[in-house]
């Protein structure tokens, strides 16, 4: 399953392909579109930690928002917890260690699982290779059987420069049912056979660096559904070609 990342909530009522949308975008709205296809919710943790150095949204408020999205938008596959990503830039803002970010991520998941049930997924966080194994152990310590979870988020991978490092982490965690958050196209193609799902909005970055499509009147296709769908199709074609090799 590949979720097309977008910062345009209106696409929910226009597109049938699976979408991945941040609550940062939905929280600004008073009403919501009804989803034509399936979608998943990003909690917006990157924005929270880099802007505030902490989560300034309570668990109760997040639960209330999620329930509203599920009821009013519909077709919601799952939601990410209020996790604490472990990129160095995030830790610089919080002043906390990787281990503490992992503890806070697991603690939040446990609270949300009690309130939202299976709608919320566990997320593995870390930075160095061995961090992810320790995060797995932390979930097991709290009696969360990751081997039985249908989707497990893999965090802090989207801003890595090394595709090989991403592959090593994914291979070490296989056969857990991993969802790779914000994975780049090349890394997705290389690891698609080891993943349950992934999301990306790398198409928007690519659109900003290239001229608009010939049929488009806007200056840039970074908010263009036509460009995004074409990019998605090329990515899926590449993964299909890899399967045939």
For 190-202, what is each residue's pLDDT tens digit?
999 999 999 999 9
Summarize the confidence of residues 235-240 as an average pLDDT. Answer: 94
With a pLDDT cut of 90, the percent of the chain lying above it is 93
Residue 173, CA distances (Å) to 35, 168, 236 in order:
32, 9, 23
Alpha-carbon distance 169 to 181, whole Å? 13
Q: Tell me the per-residue pLDDT of 56-107, one tens digit each, with 9 for 90 and over.
A: 999 999 999 999 999 999 999 999 999 999 999 999 999 999 999 999 999 9
What pLDDT was estimated at residue 74? 98
CA separation for the pair 115, 78 (Å, rounded): 14
| pLDDT, average across residues 21-50 | 95
What is the side-by-side strand order in the sheet with 123-124? Answer: 76-79, 39-42, 19-22, 2-5, 197-200, 178-180, 152-154, 123-124
Range with the poorest average pLDDT among 141-145, 154-158, 167-171: 154-158
Q: What is the mean pLDDT of residues 112-121?
A: 98
- The answer to whether the beta carbons of residues 29 and 224 sit under 8 Å apart is no
Residue entry with tokens 């329930």: 67
Helices 59-72, 98-116: crossing angle, 10 deg rounding:
50
Residue 200's nearest CA partner among 217, 187, 215 is: 187
Nearest Cα to 233, choosing from 44, 4, 39, 74? 4
Buried b (16+ CB within 10 A) or exposed e, 160-179: beebeebeebbeebeebbbb
- pTM equals 0.96
- Domains of the chain: residue spans and CATH: 2-200 (3.20.20.105)
pLDDT attached to residue 167: 94
Gap between the Cα atoms of 8 and 192, Å rounded: 25
Residue 65 to residue 57: CA distance in whole angstroms: 11
State yes or no: pLDDT of 154 exceeds 90: yes
Give CA–CA dist 143/140, Å, rounded: 5
């Amino acid at each position: 399953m590949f979720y097309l990342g977008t910062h345009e909530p209106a696409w929910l009522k226009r597109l049938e392909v699976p979408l991945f949308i941040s609550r940062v975008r939905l929280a600004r709205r008073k009403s919501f579109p009804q989803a034509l296809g399936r979608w998943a919710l990003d909690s917006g943790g990157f924005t929270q930690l880099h802007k505030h150095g902490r989560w300034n949204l309570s668990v109760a408020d997040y639960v209330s928002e999620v329930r509203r999205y599920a009821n009013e938008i519909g077709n919601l596959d799952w939601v990410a917890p209020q996790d604490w990503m472990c990129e160095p830039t995030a830790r610089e803002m919080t002043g906390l260690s990787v281990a503490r970010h992992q503890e806070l991520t697991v603690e939040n998941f446990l609270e949300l699982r009690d309130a939202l049930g299976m709608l919320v997924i566990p997320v593995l966080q870390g930075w160095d290779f061995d961090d992810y194994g320790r995060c797995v152990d932390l979930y097991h310590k709290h009696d969360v059987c990751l081997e039985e979870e249908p989707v497990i988020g893999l965090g802090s991978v989207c801003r890595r420069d090394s595709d090989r490092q991403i592959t090593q982490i994914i291979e070490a965690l296989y056969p857990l049912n991993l969802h790779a958050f914000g994975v780049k196209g090349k890394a997705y193609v290389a690891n698609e056979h080891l993943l349950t799902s992934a999301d990306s909005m790398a198409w928007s970055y690519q659109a900003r660096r290239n001229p608009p499509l010939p049929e488009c009147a806007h200056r840039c296709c970074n908010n263009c559904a036509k460009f995004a769908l074409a990019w998605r199709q090329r990515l899926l074609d590449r993964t299909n070609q890899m399967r045939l090799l």
